[in-house]
A and B are shown apart, each in its own frame.
Chain A
């Protein structure tokens, strides 16, 4: 039952699995939704959605599934127009409960038969009646038509999309960055040996009270991170976002080693320590200096004129330099280090830009949103070489 709804949720990008769905079906079987669409809405949200960041996805899917009900758009439009002015009529008799499929079918049939406006009554589509169709009606199994609900209906609630601001694919602050970065870790025992209290006590107890001391190095995060950030002009709208990522990565004090450099549009033979791009080092030297066990995070919009990426001249070294193109530099960075990903603040829908896809083919690209960041960190942690 309602399996279409499940797939619609998944289609919307809500990470809902079979386990949750089965739990939901069990809950429906025990009648927890109380025979009301409102109950269905709340119950589904409690069991299928696991983050307030995904509430909005659920609302969108719910509204789509229950609002449209697969009706031709122009009829809904016409209905909505005359449903907008309800009449003050009440009706007593309520028909018995109907299952949604029948309801939908009956609605279609009625739509074909009905040619005029109805308020009250218990059969036709209209306002304030006991018919299962229309607005402000009293049939608990009914279907509301149009946007303006009388009471607080579930569909209305879903359509209001009050959780839009909580979406994880839009909002990012320093703390979000910190949490995402913290997931990037690989614990290794290293450093000076320290007294381990718990094993010491255990060993001593096993030894019947003869003190035996246990030493071992503490566990520390072994991950080294290299941040390479685009400070070019087209990145200006995102400078605030990038600076948040920058401050978060320093504030977590989580990595064994953290290095950062800036570049302009694309990495060429020179790379910079500061945003103003005054203190530069040779990219070659950076590659020589940093051991290959660094993980690299590029941040940039990857949008540039195609020749900036593929022309065989070097803009920062002047005449006579080795003709290595931007994409060549990216390839050599990718090759040198253990793993690299690219975070792009441009929304994914604009990613058909030629240089974005070219760069994306070399370095796996993720959206600079909470979800994208999480996926990127996961990829860096697992370190799978090829996901493409």
Chain B
């Protein structure tokens, strides 16, 4: 009976907006994202007391603020997923321009948190404008790269396609390093490089960019003392204070296979960033190894699922844009998880959809909405921009 009713609501023959959306959108990805949001809400309730209590907030403060954001995130995600590719592109460009402008002015009107100016207050919200650059810049790059082949001799054609993307990339990286927000710069660089790679960059250039990326990391190690300190502590754990990482590792090992049970963890009392950078450790302690593997698998599933949709896609722009968004989403999750289990040096990065964080979650749900819109099945040829 239930199915019959469903059949009536989402009738394949019904060409209404909602119906069209339901039959063309990637419902498996939506399910995975909803599951991530659910886990995030759950974990934020768990860490709220310990983390909020320590910084002098009401013990339910973080949980409340996070739970309020979830419906907003869902709304934004679904809203963007309804957009057509062309409208999506228009919206993305407006948001990109706005975010770049706000990032530009952040050093002057922003508030300083932990030694970096990344946040500005906007109509009662703390906003990190650079978060919105990530997906929208990926879309802009995808459009620019899809316009022309990469092998062009004409100077003007170069500037109108990936040359412009290069300029834009350099400008954005400059803005981010000025804040400084190296984590974001790193993710955007990886995304941009991946998009160039997908767009058919010659192997020699791929190699060259990989090497310059490594050189860039070495330069960061050499010239930025706080980067050097983190890498040193990772390479030689006895040398310095690895408090958060050690606590996280202890949390995982005390959690075991099945975890101590929801809310039973103690590590969140000791780790200052238990609600953001180290929420994966809390999952490990309270829900155990199986839940950890499930979370990693969810991120992997979203990437693989998105990719599989792209393999049937016939628009280069859609392939590049979706791949860019997927890469930035997945790389952020993997870096967060690898940091928490001490596989790589710690890098402050939130776990998408699970970590606490108002504006970051809105930005990510916007990105995911854009992804859902791009990967919708289109009858016939993709509408052209």
Does A associate with B in a complex? no
Chain B residues engaging chain A, CB cutoff 8 angstroms: none
